[in-house]
């Protein structure tokens, strides 16, 4: 298994950015071949100080292996998501990839 976790910080000048980013994730990323598990959602607040709460949206995509994730990165729908959604709405991103 290969997990691809992406943490997004949206543009605070765009109040609907988190909702638009989630809609874009669902539209472009969910159906890309090789995705075994897809989950995207908004940050959930916590009273626990150890929980990171400065981001707005997170994405977790699971693949069979790194090769499937590499193909996902190059897929036209992923590229289109980056150009039409991500670059317009996000100020920062952090990615965690692990096997």
Neighbouring C-beta atoms of residue 13, cutoff 10 Å: 7
**What pTM was computed for the model?**
0.94
pLDDT tens, the chain, 99 aa long: 999 999 999 999 999 999 999 999 999 999 999 999 999 999 999 999 999 999 999 999 999 999 999 999 999 999 999 999 999 999 999 999 999
Distance, CA of 50 to CA of 27 (rounded, Å): 32
> What's the token pair of residue 23?
């809609």
- Residue 77 contacts residue 28 (beta carbons within 8 Å): yes
Please give the DSSP secondary-structure letter assigned to residue 84.
I
Where do the domains of the chain lie? 2-45+54-98
What pLDDT is recorded for position 99? 96
Query: Out of 3.30.70.100, 3.40.50.150, 3.40.30.10, 3.40.50.720, which CATH number does the structure's domain 2-45+54-98 have?
Result: 3.30.70.100
């Amino acid at each position: 298994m290969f997990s691809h976790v992406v943490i997004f910080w949206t543009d605070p000048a765009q109040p609907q950015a988190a909702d638009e980013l989630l809609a874009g994730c669902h539209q472009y990323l969910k159906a890309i071949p090789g995705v075994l598990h897809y989950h995207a959602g908004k940050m959930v607040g916590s009273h626990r100080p150890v929980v990171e709460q400065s981001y707005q949206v997170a994405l977790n995509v699971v693949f069979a292996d790194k090769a499937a994730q590499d193909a996902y990165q190059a897929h036209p729908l992923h590229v289109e998501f980056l150009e039409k959604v991500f670059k317009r709405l996000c100020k920062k991103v952090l990615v965690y990839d692990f096997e």
